Amino acid sequence: MLAQRDVDQLLGGRHADPFAVLGLHAEADMAEAGGRLWLRALLPGARSVDLLEAGSDKLVASLKLRLPDGLFEAPAGRRRKRFDYRLRVCWGDGSEGVYADAYAFGPQLPEQDLSLLARGEHPRPFEALGAHPLILGDVAGVRFAVWAPNASRVSVVGSFNGWDGRRHAMRRRHESGVWEIFVPHVAAGDLYKFELLDAGGQLLPLKADPFARAAQLRPDTASIVASALSAPKALPAERAAANARSAPISVYEVHAASWRRGAAQFPTWDELAEQLPAYAAEMGFTHLQLMPISEHPFDGSWGYQTLGLYAPSARFGPPEGFARFVAACHARGLGLLLDWVPAHFPADAHGLANFDGTQLYEYADPREGFHRDWNTLIYNFGRNEVRQFLVGNALYWTERWGVDGLRVDAVASMLYRDYSRPAGEWVPNSEGGRENFEAIALLRRMNEQLGQASPGAITMAEESTSFPGVSAPTSAGGLGFHYKWNMGWMNDTLKYMQEDPVHRRWHHDKMTFGLVYAFSENFVLPISHDEVVHGKGAMLNKMPGDAWQKFANLRAYYGFMWGHPGKKLLFMGQEFAQSSEWNHDAELPWALLEQPAHAGVQRLVRDLNTLYRAQPALHRLDCEAAGFEWLDAADAEHSVLAWLRKDEGSAPPVIVVSNLTPVPRHGYRLGVPAGYAIWTEALNTDSAHYGGSNMGNQAGQLRAEPVATQGQAQSIVLSLPPLACLFLVPA
């Protein structure tokens, strides 16, 4: 019989090695001589337990209840050799079942996986950790594994064991700090969490699985056993080509919960799949970008405070629905980008904070580990296992879900140790500086691993500082992102557009300064959700003037943006000039499209996307200085800007002219490149089709004259509409 000390530890849920005493074991004093086998089972709530031979269901022994708390044990008859067995259990409520025993199964994870996990070098930690449905022999169940190196005991609890931490205490694989167990008869859809005791034996709050691939809808917090991992998906060649620097990239940014709602609070993935990809494709966008869809506890964080990095949010239904949504995007020729948040996480008790009784995932020092701006915790970027967790997650989304790339949130907050911290309240790096070397190493490693394992997938950095080489290869000392959001361009040009046109002449440099550094990175021009929240108002209402001028200014600004070098990004609702600030608790005000002015802006954005994609000069050298040439950057007096977009091949150039005052300008002479005799309007943001005054040069062709101006040997004479942008192409 089992020693009383072991019995007390088992019943108290404090035994450090339950596999050493539960299941089939030889008598300790006769083990070398082939002594009798004993069977022990800890089944609180059971009334009786019989030991059966697997396959035949032959009764081998009836176990005796040693203590009322559910510890059963008995010799296994005359058996001297281990055998496959089952337990027939009669429960206190009168129900009965036959079960395989979790403690009949040996170690689950291979030594190679454990070694890689211990070093933080496992390229796909999600294959080893988390919950994985398996069939071992003829027994179906789930292998659970969790990293908790400082815990003294870890159990998996759930709907399958009455949430009793004594039932399925896990085996510790000491070399890696990983705990594991195979629990028979658990299946996809079952709820679970981990119950941990810290090093001092104190019970911690139940923890959700950091590697859970499905989770309950808030306010419930349990993890859900997901179906088996899908096979890796290679990005098709056409999708990889659509992500290239030379490709037209126009991104429609979407908050999935508030784009368009069905009968419920949240649309399902299938409802979104039916409508959203078709709309974005019809609008001419090349990519969809979803704000974070990983599981998160608070709706108002918009997903930027996630606690389930591996789980598509239950707000939109089961994970399988997300797979269908990805397929629907690709069927429409759209790339799908996901917002990804490796910078920080909330401190909810069921999450990563103080996971095993120590600061396992976060920095221990609050000067490094607490984010003042968002009241969140910062990942410990210097810990190998944490970097492994994050890098593996990036690969998980591209490789297992087939998404086309990740937009990485809050990169600036990761790069600098003094981000939003006053002097004396941050910890310098090893060289006494402010750069976070550990975060830099994480980002480089993430980009390198995606490049190797998911070729063609892209990453975009939301990075608001002048940190050098964000989109440069890591081999050249860069961070390895494919693109960087141009926050400086967005801030400067929006400030300019908010000025009354009579004052714009004094701020002309805000529209031209972006070209000083436009090709130092591979830039995306972002008009994102951040510009229409927290009292900033809608894009339309940032524009000065009366109602007509507001719409004209917005149309002109969109023309300026689509003509400017750089990939494009526009947040949902701004494509039809939403007039109210974005509200995450309501769907977009689609009824505005019944008003001609709003419908006109929508038509303009569609046509801008169409023109951008159709004209190689507008996209092929978006990130190259050779693709841009000023025709007139100095006409501050009239607030006119004109430039040439070029392609290195045989495609014709495109002239873009912006008149950013409400004054029409007739007879405006503009220098144009030699070799093209006639120019025509390809798009005019002042067209009546878009709600404008219909002034311009639509009626005829613009013939170049041998009159030198603005450094060009020939020129054309234009009519510049008020508050408008023109796109001219050779006839």
Helix ranges (DSSP H) in 197-287 = 237-242, 269-282
622 flagged as catalytic: no
320: Cβ–Cβ under 8 A, 6 or more apart, which residues? Answer: 227
Contact between 156 and 209 (Cβ < 8 Å): no
Backbone angles phi, psi at 645, to 5 degrees: -105, 135
- Of residues 101, 295, 409, 607, which has the active-site annotation? 409
Q: Which two tokens stand for residue 702?
A: 């613009």
At residue 241, φ and ψ (nearest 5 deg) are: -65, -35
Burial of 178 (C-beta count, 10 Å sphere; 0-12/13-18/19+)? buried
Name the burial class of residue 353, with classes exposed (0-12), middle (13-18) and buried (19+) by CB atoms within 10 angstroms of its CB. Answer: buried
CA dihedral sign of residues 570, 571, 576, 581 = negative
Neighbouring residues of 190: CB distance < 8 A, sequence distance ≥ 6? 142, 158, 159, 160, 224, 225
Q: What is the DSSP string of 27-94?
A: -GGGTTTT--EEEEEE-TTEEEEEEEETTT--EEEEEEEEETTTEEEEE-TT--S---EEEEEEETTS
Question: For residue 265, how many other CB atoms are within 10 A of its CB?
Answer: 11
Q: What's the token pair of residue 8?
A: 């007390």
CA 13 vs CA 67, 165, 565: distances in Å? 15, 7, 63
Bridge partners, residue 709, by sequence: 712
Q: How far is Cα 360 from Cα 589, in angstroms, rounded to an integer?
A: 44
Q: Would residue 376 be called left, alpha or beta, if left means φ above 0 and alpha means ψ between -120 and 50 degrees?
A: beta
Question: Which letter does DSSP use for residue 502 in this model?
Answer: G
Beta partners for residue 156, in sequence order = 194
How long, in residues, is the chain?
731
Q: How far apart are CA 329 and CA 244, in angstroms?
A: 18
> Of 50, 190, 368, 462, which one is the catalytic site residue?
462
* 352, 360 contact by CB (below 8 A): yes
Burial class (CB in 10 A: 0-12, 13-18, 19+), 540: buried
Q: Hey, which residues does 371 pair with through a beta bridge?
A: 376
Phi/psi of residue 536, nearest 5 degrees: -75, -15
Extract the tokens encoding 643.
């430039």
Two tokens at 697?
Answer: 């040069």
CA distance 321 to 267: 11
The CB-side HSE value for 199 (13 A sphere, CA atoms) comes to 9
Taking the C-alpha atoms of residue 206 and residue 348, their distance in angstroms, rounded to an integer, is 11
SS3 243: coil
Nearest to 289 by CA among 271, 276, 270, 307: 276
Catalytic residue check, 418: no
> Among 380, 288, 370, which Cα is nearest to 570's?
288
Cα end-to-end span (Å), the chain:
96
CB contact at 8 A, 721 and 692: yes
559's CB contacts (< 8 A; 6+ apart) are 604, 608, 656, 658, 683, 685, 724, 725, 726, 727
Catalytically active residues, by annotation: 409, 462
